[in-house]
């Protein structure tokens, strides 16, 4: 019984760590879906669509060319976005 519990705990821990690592992966603003963009802080449906409409971007700071995305939002998401 103790071995089964240990396996269940190990599996749950592995899933939690895997989810955290996946969430930490930066979002490429040139290829991200609208839903992925909406998951970023300060980015709602309208801004997400504006990001998509403004593609392609040369660097992450280019996101500030999108209407409604200023330095504050850029600062919040700069570590969560990338440009490939």
Which of 25, 34, 39 has its CA nearest to residue 79? Answer: 25
- For 33-82, the pLDDT digits (tens) are 999 999 999 999 999 999 999 999 999 999 999 999 999 999 999 999 99
Distance of CA 71 to the CA centre of its chain: 18
Integer-rounded Cα Rg, in Å, for the chain is: 17
- Going from N- to C-terminal start, the domains of the chain cover 2-82
Q: Which band of pLDDT confidence, cut at 50, 70 and 90, is reported for residue 24?
A: confident
Cβ atoms < 10 Å from Cβ of 50: 17
- Per-residue burial over 54-65, b if 16 or more Cβ lie within 10 Å, else e, is beebeebebbee
Q: Is 33 helix (H, G, I), strand (E, B) or coil?
A: coil
Verdict on whether the full-model pTM lies above 0.85: no
2-82 has which CATH code? 1.10.150.320
Average pLDDT over residues 11-32: 71
């Amino acid at each position: 019984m103790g071995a089964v519990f240990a396996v269940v705990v190990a599996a749950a821990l592995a899933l939690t760590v895997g989810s955290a690592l996946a969430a930490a992966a930066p979002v490429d603003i040139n290829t991200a879906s609208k839903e992925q963009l909406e998951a970023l802080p300060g980015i709602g449906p309208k801004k997400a669509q504006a990001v998509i409409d403004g593609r392609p971007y040369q660097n992450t700071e280019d996101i500030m060319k999108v209407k409604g995305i200023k330095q504050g939002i850029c600062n919040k998401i700069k570590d969560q976005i990338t440009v490939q």
